């Protein structure tokens, strides 16, 4: 165990490049492996989750290498061309990795055994298995539809029209990736729109994907062609230093090259409503995604009601939003967050307990959190149980940058799953994150 303590500081400063987007990095490795020819990826996130997907794609027969200049090269085998892994495929902590690869494996005619770490083995997989069964795959899973599980891929894959019952880009993407190797058209209908990186990247590799409102159609069995790809910066990671700057006195931090895809940008919208001083500058398109440089300055925040329908566009950002809310004047209400209970941890419970341990008035709801903010008077002084969840750990280290007393998280190793450079960036900006005694 490596506990870490954040001490109060004033003045976070600097300009930093955002780490590569985790969602896009997983998809780049997978689609590169399913394309014919070479895919060169720059800016790939070298976090543990993505490295697990890289290992998995090698097990499926793609060549995945890191080049001397830090770019990655994938040599793909073509749609339907993967081979049976000779051993168990272990995705460690990567929910996106395993769920999307279950889709890929579902329409390849061989058997794959997937597993993951203790956190991933607790997460629900039935949501992915249900549509994939309809495409012809067979599953044997551990109790409750969990990992470890075996996928017997369909020999005669069927296309599917599927309405996703929970807002989930992972379920949508699993069905689309399975549909790649099915004849005919696979259609996914979303009740609430979720991140569209799979759709965008499939097009980038030459597939025909149409999106009409909530209806996404993919023409099956395309020939995907290897393509150059630049991964934009991850807004979900950039959120931590930016919120740290907002809540810490005398700060100004810029994070460059962040994806501002509207289906990922809900946090920025919410922070702006809270009165945050955020400049979104230098908007441009990189690698097919809108990106920008975002500057955050210390701000007097006020509590808001976050519209529940905004949840899919900021689903991973509620932990750090709850920290911002602790420093905002008045009450912040976050609802419609049932999905947070089945992330790397039960994030509603973990945030409620961690905030309470640091003197923040918080109410836990079945589907959300209510935080009573007290600007300038967040006690801190608590030790937070992270449940091995990277975003819980980073959120409370941000809280400790501005609370009266230091804040300790019981474990920080998992931060490397999504943001291996977090401690380095924060230290460079002026934060004091020290190994706990």
Closest to ligand S3P by CB, 176 or 328:
176
Q: Tell which one of 125, 169, 255, 398 touches ligand S3P (CB under 6 A).
A: 169
Closest to ligand S3P by CB, 293 or 389:
389
Rounded Cα distance between 161 and 163, Å, is: 7
Beta carbon of residue 115, minimum distance to ligand S3P (angstroms, whole number): 19
Task: Given the residues 49, 316, 389, 412, select the one marked as catalytic.
Answer: 316
Q: Tell which one of 25, 170, 251, 261 touches ligand S3P (CB under 6 A).
A: 170
User: Does the protein bind ligand S3P through residue 168 (CB under 6 A)?
Assistant: yes
Closest to ligand S3P by CB, 12 or 334:
334
49 assigned to active site: no
Q: How many residues does the chain have?
A: 437
Residue located via tokens 């529940």:
308
Report 173-192 residues binding ligand S3P (CB under 6 A).
173
* Residue 292, phi-psi category: left (phi > 0), alpha (psi -120 to 50), beta (remainder): beta
Residue located via tokens 């390849």:
108
Find the part of the chain contacting ligand S3P (CB under 6 A) among 167-175, 247-255, 329-337, 419-427. Answer: 167-175
Report 208-267 residues binding ligand S3P (CB under 6 A).
none
* Beta-ladder partners of 380: 405
Cis peptide before 148 (omega within 30 of 0): yes
Q: Tell which one of 5, 20, 23, 231 touches ligand S3P (CB under 6 A).
A: 23
Report 277-336 residues binding ligand S3P (CB under 6 A).
315-316
The CA–CA distances, whole Å, from 416 to 44, 253, 371, 394 equal 14, 22, 28, 11
Rounded Cα distance between 179 and 97, Å, is: 17
- The CB density around residue 437, as the number of other CB atoms within 10 Å, is 6
Beta carbon of residue 191, minimum distance to ligand S3P (angstroms, whole number): 13
Contact at 8 Å (CB) between 49 and 22?
Answer: yes
Q: Return the closest-CA partner of residue 45 out of 18, 21, 68.
A: 21
Rounded Cα distance between 22 and 25, Å, is: 5
Binding string, residues 97-116; x marks residues near ligand S3P by CB under 6 A:
--------------------
Catalytic residue ranges: 316
Contact residues for ligand S3P (CB under 6 A)? 23, 96, 168-170, 173, 195, 315-316, 339
């Amino acid at each position: 165990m490596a506990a870490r303590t954040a001490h109060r500081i004033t003045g976070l400063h600097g300009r930093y490049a955002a780490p590569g987007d985790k969602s896009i990095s997983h998809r780049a490795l997978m689609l590169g492996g399913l394309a014919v020819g070479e895919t060169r990826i720059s800016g790939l996130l070298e976090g543990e989750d993505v490295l697990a997907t890289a290992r998995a794609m090698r097990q499926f027969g793609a060549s995945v290498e890191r080049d001397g200049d830090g770019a990655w090269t994938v040599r793909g085998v073509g749609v339907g061309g993967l081979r049976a892994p000779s051993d168990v495929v272990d995705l460690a902590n990567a929910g996106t990795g395993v769920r999307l690869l279950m889709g890929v494996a579902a329409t390849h005619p061989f058997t794959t055994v997937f597993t993951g770490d203790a956190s991933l083995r607790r997460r629900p997989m039935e949501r992915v298995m249900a549509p994939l069964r309809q495409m012809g795959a067979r599953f044997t899973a551990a109790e409750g539809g969990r990992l470890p599980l075996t996928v017997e891929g369909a020999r005669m894959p069927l296309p599917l029209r599927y309405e996703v019952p929970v807002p989930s880009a992972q379920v949508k993407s699993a069905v689309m990736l399975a549909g790649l190797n099915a004849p005919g058209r696979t259609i996914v209908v979303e009740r609430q729109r979720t991140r569209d990186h799979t759709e965008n990247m499939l097009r980038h590799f030459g597939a025909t994907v149409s999106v009409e409102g909530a209806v996404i159609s993919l023409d099956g069995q395309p020939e995907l062609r290897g393509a150059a790809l630049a991964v934009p910066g991850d807004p979900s990671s950039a959120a931590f230093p930016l919120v740290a700057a907002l809540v810490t006195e005398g700060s100004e931090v810029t994070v460059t090259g962040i994806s501002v895809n509207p289906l990922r940008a809900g946090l920025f919208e919410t922070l702006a409503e809270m009165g945050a001083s955020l400049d979104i500058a230098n908007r441009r398109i990189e690698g097919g995604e809108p990106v920008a440089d975002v500057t955050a300055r210390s701000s007097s925040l006020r509590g808001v009601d976050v519209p529940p329908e905004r949840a899919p566009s900021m689903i991973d950002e509620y932990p750090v939003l709850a920290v911002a809310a602790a420093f905002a004047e008045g009450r912040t209400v976050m609802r419609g967050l049932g999905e947070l209970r089945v992330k790397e941890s039960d994030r509603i419970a973990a945030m409620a307990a961690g905030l309470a341990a640091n003197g923040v008035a918080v109410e836990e709801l079945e589907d959300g959190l209510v935080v009573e903010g007290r600007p300038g008077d967040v006690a801190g002084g608590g030790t937070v149980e992270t449940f091995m969840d990277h975003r819980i750990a980073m959120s409370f280290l941000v809280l400790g940058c501005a609370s009266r007393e230091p804040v300790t998280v019981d474990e920080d190793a998992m931060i490397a799953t999504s943001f291996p450079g977090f401690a380095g960036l924060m230290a460079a900006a002026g934060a004091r994150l020290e190994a706990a005694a």
